[in-house]
Amino acid sequence: MYKIGVLGDYDSIYGFATLGIETFPVDASGAGEKIKELIAGDYRVIYITEALASEIQPELEKYEEQITPALILIPGITGNTGDGVANVKASVEKAVGSDILFGEE
């Protein structure tokens, strides 16, 4: 039985607690450690706010080619940085060689 977690600044994520998803308010300095800890625990889906994710990008890339955990970016309270969409575009680019689907958007 695995669990779902949310990482980010407190204001962006406190609402998720009501849904029964565990929230972990962290800042950039503690996020890398926290992710390792969560993955070593039973967290297999972890949502991360875009703002936080951009700070710990190298840490996230390590898990990209593993089947789990799925690290998914979500917009935080300060707004959408576009990193999530950019990631999808990046995977198209990786697979096809150039972004033929969403390039013009």
Q: Which two tokens stand for residue 88?
A: 């999808």
Q: Which is nearer to other proteins, 20 or 58 (CB)?
A: 20
Interface residues toward other proteins, by CB under 8 A: 1-4, 12, 14-21, 44-45, 47, 64-65, 67-68, 70, 72, 74-77, 79-80, 84-85, 87-88, 91-92, 94-97, 101-102
CA atoms lying within 13 Å on the CB side of residue 51: 17
* β-sheet bridge partners, residue 23: 6
Q: Which is nearer to other proteins, 29 or 65 (CB)?
A: 65
> In whole angstroms, what separates CA 7 from the centre of its chain?
8
Q: Which is nearer to other proteins, 32 or 75 (CB)?
A: 75
> In whole angstroms, what separates CA 51 from the centre of its chain?
10
